[in-house]
């Protein structure tokens, strides 16, 4: 299967969230980039300020690993203008892929025009700059019905505004991994939620993020139709595949 090519190896904590100094937090990013070089992941998902560091290290290693970053992270409640400005900065820094957090709170309040506008503007900016765009819908904050509706909404926007030829450049993504749930409920991708997203957003691509920590789960996600997996457990997933000789 070569599961490494499905993996967006992820480290998105800022220093205060990780309870580290800025230098220590940067070292975490450096370790992730080194790991990505060693295991040849599809993409490194990091905060925008670390993009120049990643580009330098990947260039020196002769690797064409993609670099992604997050926009409006992790609450999603930033204004459309703020998200677009953040995205422009990330593009200027050299990001290949932009993972926007949908304003899911506005969506839940029924402010559909606001949500439609930010999705249209975010996709336009990304496609105009030849970038892949992913929309994080934060499944743990939504009901199953809301997951269906917002997945269909994103698909409909792509087809009506940008054409089927751009479907491969737009993802629906499950989660930030930072959402706080009650009673220890899952805060990220589950098989149920990814099945709903797949059924209602394909042929757009889909990304499972949040809670995918082992090889068996990753494989099942791919079997459900997932095109990319965002995880902080990439090394463990790849090593399990190597040890089982299932893809190498």
Residues annotated as catalytic are: 99, 173, 207
DSSP letter at 6 equals: G
Residue closest to 104 by CA, chosen among 174, 204, 33: 174
Locate the DSSP E strands across the chain: 7-11, 43-46, 66-71, 97-101, 132-136, 170-173, 205-209, 228-231
DSSP letter at 159 equals: I
Cβ-proximal residues to 79 (8 Å cutoff; 6+ apart), any chain? none
State phi, psi for 101 to the nearest 5 degrees: -90, 115
Locate the DSSP E strands across 84-189: 97-101, 132-136, 170-173
Q: How far is residue 60's CA from residue 234's CA, in Å, rounded to a whole number?
A: 22
Contact 220, 191 (CB under 8 A): yes
- Can you tell me whether residue 27 is helix, strand or coil? helix
Q: How far is residue 190's CA from residue 176's CA, in Å, rounded to a whole number?
A: 13
Residue closest to 90 by CA, chosen among 66, 116, 59: 66
Q: Which residue has the tokens 């893809």?
A: 247
């Amino acid at each position: 299967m070569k599961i490494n090519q499905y993996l967006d190896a992820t480290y998105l904590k800022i220093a205060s969230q990780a309870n580290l100094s800025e230098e220590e937090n940067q070292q975490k990013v450096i370790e992730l980039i080194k790991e990505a070089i060693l295991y040849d992941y599809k993409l490194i998902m990091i905060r925008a300020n670390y993009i120049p560091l990643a580009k330098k290290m990947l260039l020196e290693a002769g690797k064409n690993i993609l670099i992604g970053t997050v926009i409006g992270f992790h609450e999603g409640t930033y204004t459309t203008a703020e998200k677009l400005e953040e995205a422009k900065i990330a593009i200027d820094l050299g990001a290949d892929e932009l993972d926007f957090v949908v304003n899911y709170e506005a969506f839940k309040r029924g402010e559909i025009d606001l949500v439609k506008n930010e999705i249209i503007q975010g996709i336009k900016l990304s496609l105009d700059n030849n970038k892949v765009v992913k929309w994080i819908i934060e499944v743990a904050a939504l009901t199953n019905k809301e997951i269906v509706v917002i997945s269909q909404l994103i698909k409909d926007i792509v087809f009506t505004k940008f054409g089927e030829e751009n479907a491969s450049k737009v993802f629906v993504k499950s989660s930030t991994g930072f959402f706080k749930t009650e009673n220890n409920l899952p805060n990220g991708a589950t098989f149920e939620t990814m099945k709903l997203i797949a059924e209602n957003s394909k042929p757009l691509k889909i990304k499972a993020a949040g809670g995918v920590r082992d090889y068996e789960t990753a494989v099942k996600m791919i079997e459900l139709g997932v095109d990319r997996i965002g995880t902080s457990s990439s090394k463990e997933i790849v090593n399990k595949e190597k040890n089982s000789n299932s893809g190498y």
